[in-house]
Amino acid sequence: MADQLSVLKYYLYYKYRRPFSDRSSLERWQEQKVKKHLKYIADHSTVYRGVKQLSSCPVTDKAFMMEHFDELNTVGIGREEALDFAVRAEREREFTPKLKGVTVGLSSGTSGSRGIFLVSDDEKNRWAGYVLAKFLPGSILGKYAIAFFMRADSNLYEAVKSKNIRFHFFDIYKDMEEHRKRLEEIRPQILAGQPSLLLMIAEDIRQGKTKLQPQTVISIAEVLEQEDEQRLKEAFGLPVIHQVYQCTEGCLASTCPKGTLHLNEDIVHIEREYLDEKRFVPIVTDFERKAQPIIRYRLNDILVEKKAACACGSPCLALEKIEGREDDVFTFQGHDGRDVSVFPDFIRRCILFADGGGESEETGISGDYRIVQERDGRLTVYADLTEYGKQRIAEEFLLLSEDCGFILPEIRFTAYVREKGRKMKRVERKNAGERGTDEGTQGKDCRLGK
């Protein structure tokens, strides 16, 4: 009962808090929150002892957090005991127990290494209130069944449960046929899952295998491509497919009622490390996380800033999209011998342009594809294509190579296979983490006018 009352308190706070009038008022408020937060952290975390200003804190990453785990957290939990606890929970598929009253979990390891996260009860309840305020389609007093697909359950989600709100965990490692039956029984008002799974459900709806009609669909854990977003809108009959950009480091962005993804700058402070005039890597300070401080934590995600103001009026930064990870920027040999880096978006465009905006029957191109740059530099396109489709994709990559000035490597085509339990990545570089210096045309905007 105490948890539910706490969640309700935070729900009301976030739902009805007075909005910020402009960007300046938001930044002033953030500055006050960060200052107060640092005072607490400086008194409770060995790593940040004596720190008074954000600028004097080091920029950190997952390796730093794991190396200094014991000295960094404020709840007296050691790295090895936390890791053993979290791994045992995953093996036994039992996610409700806590360690010393703290929720412990593992990140999915998409970036190449797995991290441990700690969340206190108050942080858990605050998160639940924030999420409900963002995504409930009606009043918190209404009745909702929420179905969510994830790799691991957590008592983090138990805080949301009440007699009116029921969370139903769907283990992505289990059989999809079993999931279909449960979804039919539950008929959720809110459906949350990876785009790859949402697309499978959407296809069932299209083929008449199910009649699900959720009021809200939320995409999580994977990059939501624009073409996939459109397919989901059509299948579910919804004007907006919501996105949540959440990771171990916090709930960083979410979709507004107008369908625009905004940074959640009312709960996190984000510095931007620009890669070009619109792409940046976020450096996150969560001024509400105390058990495991997240201060100037550099992610390796590439976010694309939206230059035009959003019609919703929010001063929180609007995003065009989450493009992918820095590790998945393809690197090719330039004609002058230097490396040429190409952002994932330009790789995806080769598929989009090859399809011609709807010639999928002729090309065989559908929403299910992957493009991988192998360790030797060659490209593998995983898709169920016609010979004409393969030809069109090869032509688009040739045009891309001419525009960006690199030598086109061998392109291999093979059938698309979805790996169960694995995050879908449309664009992936296998030799991530082995990149050298890049003095070439890094991030060159190729073929923007096409």
Write a three-state SS string for the chain.
CHHHHHHHHHHHHHHHCCCCCCHHHHHHHHHHHHHHHHHHHHHHCCCCCCCCCHHHCCCECHHHHHHCHHHHCCCCCCHHHHHHHHHHHHHHCCCCCCECCEEEEECCCCCCCCCEEEECHHHHHHHHHHHHHHHCCCCCCCCEEEEEEECCCCCCCHHHCCCCEEEEEEECCCCHHHHHHHHHHHCCCEEEECHHHHHHHHHHHHCCCCCCCCCEEEECCCCCCHHHHHHHHHHHCCCCCEEEEEECCEEEEEECCCCCEEECCCCEEEEEEECCCCEEEEEEEECCCCCCCEEEEECCEEEEECCCCCCCCCCCCEEEEEEEEHHHCEEEEECCCCEEEECHHHHHHHHHHHHCCCCHHHHCCCCCCEEEECCCCCEEEECCCCHHHHHHHHHHHHHHHHHHCECCCCEEEECCCCCCCCCCCCEEECCCCCCCCCCCCCCCCCCCCC
How far is the C-alpha of 232 from the C-alpha of 255, rounded, in Å?
Answer: 15
- Decide the pairing of beta strands 144-150 and 165-171: parallel
325, 349, 376: which is the final residue of a domain? 325
Give residue 278's identity as a one-letter amino acid code: K
Taking residue 256's Cβ as centre, other Cβ atoms within 10 Å add up to 18
Q: What is the pLDDT of residue 442?
A: 38
285 within 8 A of 295, measured Cβ to Cβ = yes
The answer to whether residue 21 sits within a structural domain is yes
Q: What is the pLDDT of residue 450?
A: 34
Burial 149-165 (b: 16+ CB within 10 A, else e): bbbbbbbbbbbbebeeb
Q: Do 276 and 336 have their domain in common? A: no
Q: What is the pLDDT of residue 444?
A: 42
Tokens of 122: 């108050």
Q: Is the pLDDT of residue 267 over 50?
A: yes
- Decide the pairing of beta strands 411-414 and 294-298: unpaired
Give the chain's domain count. 2
The answer to whether residue 450 sits within a structural domain is no
Q: Do 342 and 196 have their domain in common? A: no
Task: Give CA angle at 43 (117, 13), nearest 5°.
Answer: 60
* β partners of residue 273: 281
Quick one: pLDDT band at residue 361, thresholds 50, 70, 90? low
Selected residue with higher pLDDT from 114 and 113:
114
Phi first, then psi: what are they for 327, rounded to 5°? -60, -20
* β partners of residue 146: 167, 190
- Between the ranges 163-167, 182-186, 268-272, 415-419, where is the mean pLDDT highest? 268-272
The answer to whether residue 97 sits within a structural domain is yes
CATH code (residue 376): 3.30.300
Selected residue with higher pLDDT from 277 and 418:
277
Tokens of 109: 């390891």
276, 297, 325: which is the final residue of a domain? 325
In angstroms, how far is CA 241 from the centroid of its own chain? 14
Q: Do 89 and 178 have their domain in common? A: yes
Q: Do 359 and 334 have their domain in common? A: yes
Taking residue 68's Cβ as centre, other Cβ atoms within 10 Å add up to 15
The answer to whether residue 443 sits within a structural domain is no
Q: Do 203 and 339 have their domain in common? A: no
The answer to whether residue 411 sits within a structural domain is yes
Q: What is the pLDDT of residue 157?
A: 58
Q: Is the pLDDT of residue 441 over 50?
A: no
Q: Do 189 and 229 have their domain in common? A: yes
Q: Do 280 and 419 have their domain in common? A: no
Q: Do 309 and 408 have their domain in common? A: no
307, 325, 343: which is the final residue of a domain? 325
The answer to whether residue 436 sits within a structural domain is no
pTM, 2 dp:
0.80
87 within 8 A of 106, measured Cβ to Cβ = yes
Q: What is the pLDDT of residue 98?
A: 85
How far is the C-alpha of 124 from the C-alpha of 291, rounded, in Å?
Answer: 11
Q: Do 280 and 341 have their domain in common? A: no
Quick one: pLDDT band at residue 445, thresholds 50, 70, 90? very low
Taking residues 409-429, what's their average pLDDT? 81
Q: Do 76 and 104 have their domain in common? A: yes
Q: Do 254 and 348 have their domain in common? A: no
The answer to whether residue 199 sits within a structural domain is yes
Structural domain range at position 295: 2-325
Phi first, then psi: what are they for 59, rounded to 5°? -75, 125
Q: Count the residues in the chain.
A: 450
Q: Is the pLDDT of residue 280 over 70?
A: yes
Q: What is the pLDDT of residue 386?
A: 87
Q: Do 320 and 339 have their domain in common? A: no
Mean residue pLDDT of the chain comes to 85
The answer to whether residue 448 sits within a structural domain is no
Selected residue with higher pLDDT from 345 and 75:
75
Q: Is the pLDDT of residue 446 over 60?
A: no
CATH code (residue 195): 3.40.50.12780
Tokens of 150: 């994830």
Q: What is the pLDDT of residue 437?
A: 33
